[in-house]
Structure 1
Amino acid sequence: MSLAIGIIPARYASTRLPGKPLVDLGGQTMIQRVVGQAHQAGLARVVVATDDERILRHVHEFGGEAVLTRPDHPSGTDRVWEAYEHLGSPAEVSCIVNIQGDEPFIHPAQIQALVTLFDQPMPPDIATLIKPVITDEELFSPHLPKVVTDRRGRALYFSRHPLPYQRQQPEGEWLLHHPYHRHLGLYAYRPDVLRQLTQLPPSPLEVAESLEQLRWLENGFVIQTAVTELDAFGIDTPEDVRRALLRLGMSA
């Protein structure tokens, strides 16, 4: 059985919602809710990786584990690796789960679905979640990246545009003729792979689509996908906070 740890990158700065990890959601902060959900997944450890002393203190106050990382990381992936190094890079860990710090409703089953993939005799380099697309709005939204996989569920390409392009069908009927999947931003990596990912320079496809995972594909890493029917609920704006409070049954 895989020994997995969860690391949650949590930056204080946010253009649309400053101090986002510390936003109150019905008596608990967002980061506190994320940590609570992650613990329910049966991970060996759950650690917040932050660039801000206020978040660090807050996590310690509610009994969580946190480490202070550099403020200048270009991505959450780099922050996760630094946090892992702070933990001493324990050799017994089989996979590191990168859990988004702005998804307070992440389901433990989604985390478990990725960890399970590392129990195979030949575990993947990287694992991530995908979800069936059910509406045209999802399909054509550039804010919801889509993914094309092979027959084994390995990612072939990620794009902000719907792929494949159905030449013989009108766009309004694409979902009737082909199953599409969108990508959810939850990743798990083998520790040795994560170290290598942080050393890769930006790639042409990554720059074109503004999708970090294309850098990994361009460099030959295998990304295994797991399908989930559960949705993601990220919080980026004050309006998202209001929606989250309504979801909790509270007045916005």
Structure 2
Amino acid sequence: MKTIALIPARYAATRFPGKMMAVLAGKTVIWRTYESARATGVFDEVMVVTDSEVIFEEITRNGGKAIMSKREHESGSDRIAEAVEDMTDVDIVVNVQGDTPFTQKEPLEKLLKVFEGEEGKKVQVASLMQVLKEWKDIEDPNFVKVAVDKDFNALFFSRSVIPYPRDKAINSVYYEHIGIYAFRREALLQFTRTPMSPLEAAEKIECLRYLENGIPMKMVVTDYMGVEIDTPEDLERASRLLEK
């Protein structure tokens, strides 16, 4: 089963423009993400897919592999889907967000394992999540929350607090969605052929497109302790983490 990692990377991020080229302990965020994905050793190939010549040159100048997007795209999944259209020998595509410089091997192994065996044949899309414990993080719209069923299939994703704690006596578990997805190739291509859904447009969370079109998403719990770089404050947190 051929498995590749594609890292979508656009320069003009809304909350933190140019974040992919922000310097984190002497290296750019996008290069650290590329390095960490490759260092896990779980992929047959790792490539950055970008709309930016600056990012393209950053990766290729350092000896990495990058692809320039041919069109404008609404989401990272749309961007990597364009890149795999001609990759007919690929089975599983992992979308590693360009702002995740702490990508680790163990969570990725757990994510890919759900595609194995008879039960795994039913899985078309899977993603990672971790438990949120701090209420300030649970309330923060920059932390995308996910509610799951008893089999750990996603029920809903939101920037709001889900589940809402109307009954304070119930000790609810809150999960943060980590922006790393694994797709069967055909499921990814089908995603990009499907119009943006209303909930996806409202929340600006691309995986809602799957749920709105009746495609289950298997969620995998991890103890992932990295930092996603969404804001300048996240960059500072990441710098402190590297110092430790």
Note whether the superposition's TM-score is higher than 0.5. Answer: yes
Hey, what's the Cα distance between the residues in 2 that align with 1:161 and 1:237?
A: 18
Q: How does 1:49-198 map to 2 (within 5 A)?
A: 49-70=49-70, 72-85=72-85, 88-91=86-89, 93-121=90-118, 122-167=121-166, 169-170=167-168, 174=170, 177-198=171-192
**Structure 2 gap ranges (5+):** none
Q: Deviations over 1:1-42 (max 9, x none)?
A: x42100001112234544322222223221111111111222
Residue 201 (structure 2) aligns with: 207
Q: Deviations over 1:101-154 (max 9, x none)?
A: 011112222222211211232241100011112122233223222222122111
What is the DSSP-based 3-state SS (H/G/I as helix, E as strand, rest coil) of the residue aligned with 1:188?
strand
| 1:133–1:139 CA contact under 8 A, matched in 2 | yes
| 1:5–1:43 CA contact under 8 A, matched in 2 | yes
Hey, what's the Cα distance between the residues in 1 that align with 2:139 and 2:17?
A: 29
| 1:110–1:228 CA contact under 8 A, matched in 2 | yes
Change (3 A) 1:243 1:191: same
- TM-score if structure 2 supplies the norm length? 0.89
Cα distance, 1:231 vs structure 2: 3.0
What is the DSSP-based 3-state SS (H/G/I as helix, E as strand, rest coil) of the residue aligned with 2:117?
coil
Change (3 A) 1:241 1:132: closer
- Read off the aligned partner of 2:56 and give its amino acid letter: L
Q: Which has the larger radius of gyration?
A: 1
Cα distance, 1:166 vs structure 2: 4.3
| 1:94–1:118 CA contact under 8 A, matched in 2 | no
Hey, what's the Cα distance between the residues in 1 that align with 2:140 and 2:19?
A: 24
Cα distance, 1:248 vs structure 2: 2.1
- Read off the aligned partner of 1:109 and give its amino acid letter: E
Q: RMSD value over aligned CA atoms?
A: 2.1
What is the DSSP-based 3-state SS (H/G/I as helix, E as strand, rest coil) of the residue aligned with 2:152?
coil
| 2:128–2:178 CA contact under 8 A, matched in 1 | yes
What is the DSSP-based 3-state SS (H/G/I as helix, E as strand, rest coil) of the residue aligned with 1:215?
helix
What is the DSSP-based 3-state SS (H/G/I as helix, E as strand, rest coil) of the residue aligned with 1:248?
helix
What is the DSSP-based 3-state SS (H/G/I as helix, E as strand, rest coil) of the residue aligned with 2:243?
coil
Change (3 A) 1:123 1:39: farther
**Structure 1 gap ranges (5+):** none
Hey, what's the Cα distance between the residues in 2 that align with 1:139 and 1:241?
A: 19
